[in-house]
Structure 1
């Protein structure tokens, strides 16, 4: 048994919509096709020769990574350089490659939130807002007796979500009229005769990213041959998304104590500390991956410390001048948790939706350095 790749990609994009990605990023299907059957999935932080060998040995159909293999358009595919060789090996072994990068970092309940929660932060908010969801109003006219099945189809497709409430709709009744012409196959009435029937007007709110899915689900269960529906733009302010998170620890620590806490909670061998070891830590900014450029935003958001990776000498000096402590847990150290996060999500989705695929976590150690 297997599941279509498109179904798996749609699952991922429910928690990591492509529109959440930074403009410079490249996310989605890197190599492969949407309509293939997938039985075995390998999750890895990124792709290299060892991960490829692991995929071949385990008869993998699809590799899902956080870091994209292809950032810029390819002008050639050379087998004598790593990127071209990886593309060649993927195609030769019939393995697809999909990546979700900054879209997963920026989205609500994505990787930044996952790391913040692993660190035990409370009252978590976004550090750097980069965008906001937009909405449409979807209105459809339904004959009496079919209102419940259409409402449920819309709600199950993600329409009608307001705050912590789902399946929100408003319904009014009225009279619908139509004249079936030759070549039509009317659900009600006769060709050449105006039909008048009792109908409901059902309206709901839909995020732009789910509009196509909601309309498709509605059309699938609607009994009419030609469905009358309207789509209106809305100015409602949707959910924000962005890079980094900021929140509070349960207890107050000094910098040294909190660094040890970060080291333990993220399962690291070491962390680097920048700042006075006795500095009091309560409000924490977190940016997984390379977040040294967020020093100023963390400071102006009121953070006592920035937990991130890849902090440069000059970025540390900027933090020191501002009085902001820094804990550099490493790019790999703050993003290796992608494997566990995505594996757990896809396994739970398979169970909930009765999908048939196996998820395997890569065992390749991608840590770039050995410390002596």
Structure 2
């Protein structure tokens, strides 16, 4: 399979144009798309949230000619590359080129796409509430979107079946395979949640959550002042690692692509980051 053929499949579910729209609308920066083109046919693809050294080694062992990541393998401009233990990026890129491994990154476009990573976070949280014994899921169309786009968007507020804060956190730990979940705020019954995949919980996100009646904010990478502001606003907080908040949705994306790709696809998880 040619790189452009599999990229067309990846892009169909999470168009790069959607990431471009997000950047233009909300003043963001991204670097998604084909970031390493090693040439040659691709007979197998490996999906990994990051271009980690472990993912590169697994791709080499598996004979994968493509690594698909969520986080951009190259994010900012780089002035040079050294193949050194002190330059992990240079080492990873050199290994990919040496072994004929191309790299595609699907970042903000996949965050915001319908059924993408941010929407998957919401779906996982709804499943977590169900697993906690809270009953039937409410209709999905009650969700409000923090940063809407022509389709999809980022950040959501939505009803959940009434569930205790503690039980919801335990359900999230289970559903997301999360190893590090922190809970802040007084125990309460949660009827409405706001979630933001990755590091998106900023002041604007908290204001959105409060205005949309959320009882809890669920995200990752909370800065101290944001966490303090959330609690002072009366919001509870459930914090996952950045990795855990996004790996669940990225694996959902992988499953969709695997069904259509026509080549073997495998999934890599860096367990230490969950």
SS of the equivalent of 2:115 reads: coil
Tell me the residue number matched to 2:35.
30
Give runs of aligned pairs for residues 156-175 of structure 1, distance below 5 A: none
Question: How much has 1:130 moved relative to structure 2?
Answer: 4.4
Tell me the residue number matched to 1:258.
168
Maintained 8 Å contact 2:49/2:269: no
Question: How much has 1:309 moved relative to structure 2?
Answer: 0.8
State how far apart, in whole Å, the 2-side matches of 1:19 and 1:345 are.
20
Tell me the residue number matched to 1:82.
88
Match for 1:123 among 140, 164, 176?
Answer: 140
Match for 1:248 among 144, 155, 159?
Answer: 159
1:287 aligns with 2:202: no
Match for 1:98 among 67, 82, 104?
Answer: 104
Tell me the residue number matched to 1:362.
268
State how far apart, in whole Å, the 1-side matches of 2:76 and 2:49 are.
19
Match for 2:10 among 8, 12, 30?
Answer: 12
Match for 2:64 among 24, 37, 60?
Answer: 60
Tell me the residue number matched to 2:132.
none
SS of the equivalent of 2:9 reads: helix
State how far apart, in whole Å, the 2-side matches of 1:317 and 1:365 are.
29
State how far apart, in whole Å, the 2-side matches of 1:29 and 1:366 are.
27
Maintained 8 Å contact 1:105/1:111: yes
Relative to structure 1, the CA distance from residue 130 to residue 73 in structure 2 (aligned partners, 3 Å threshold; closer, same or farther) is farther
SS of the equivalent of 1:291 reads: coil
Give deviations 1:118-146, integer Å, cap 9, x for gaps. Answer: 222642535322432xxxxxxxxxxxxxx
Maintained 8 Å contact 1:296/1:319: no
State how far apart, in whole Å, the 2-side matches of 1:341 and 1:332 are.
14
State how far apart, in whole Å, the 1-side matches of 2:260 and 2:266 are.
15
State how far apart, in whole Å, the 2-side matches of 1:295 and 1:53 are.
40
Maintained 8 Å contact 2:47/2:265: yes
Give deviations 1:184-221, integer Å, cap 9, x for gaps. Answer: xxxxxxxxxxxxxxxxxxxxxxxxxxxxxxxxxxxxxx
Once the two structures are overlaid, the 10-residue window that deviates more, 114-123 or 252-261, is: 114-123
Question: How much has 1:112 moved relative to structure 2?
Answer: 1.4
Maintained 8 Å contact 2:116/2:249: no
Question: How much has 1:304 moved relative to structure 2?
Answer: 1.3
Could you list the runs of 5+ residues in structure 1 that have no partner in the other structure?
A: 133-239, 351-355
Question: How much has 1:367 moved relative to structure 2?
Answer: 1.1
State how far apart, in whole Å, the 1-side matches of 2:248 and 2:140 are.
21
Tell me the residue number matched to 2:258.
347
State how far apart, in whole Å, the 2-side matches of 1:259 and 1:344 are.
25
State how far apart, in whole Å, the 2-side matches of 1:11 and 1:126 are.
29
CA RMSD for the aligned pairs?
1.9
Maintained 8 Å contact 2:116/2:253: no
Maintained 8 Å contact 2:118/2:197: yes
State how far apart, in whole Å, the 2-side matches of 1:126 and 1:56 are.
43
Question: How much has 1:296 moved relative to structure 2?
Answer: 2.1
State how far apart, in whole Å, the 1-side matches of 2:200 and 2:171 are.
19
- Using the size of structure 2 for normalisation, the TM-score is 0.85
Q: Which has the higher strand share?
A: 1
- Runs of 4+ residues over 3 Å off in structure 1: none
Give deviations 1:219-277, integer Å, cap 9, x for gaps. Answer: xxxxxxxxxxxxxxxxxxxxx3321222211x212222222222222222341111111
Q: Which has the higher helix share?
A: 2
Tell me the residue number matched to 2:48.
44
SS of the equivalent of 1:276 reads: coil
Relative to structure 1, the CA distance from residue 366 to residue 24 in structure 2 (aligned partners, 3 Å threshold; closer, same or farther) is farther
SS of the equivalent of 2:273 reads: coil
Could you list the runs of 5+ residues in structure 2 that have no partner in the other structure?
A: 127-136
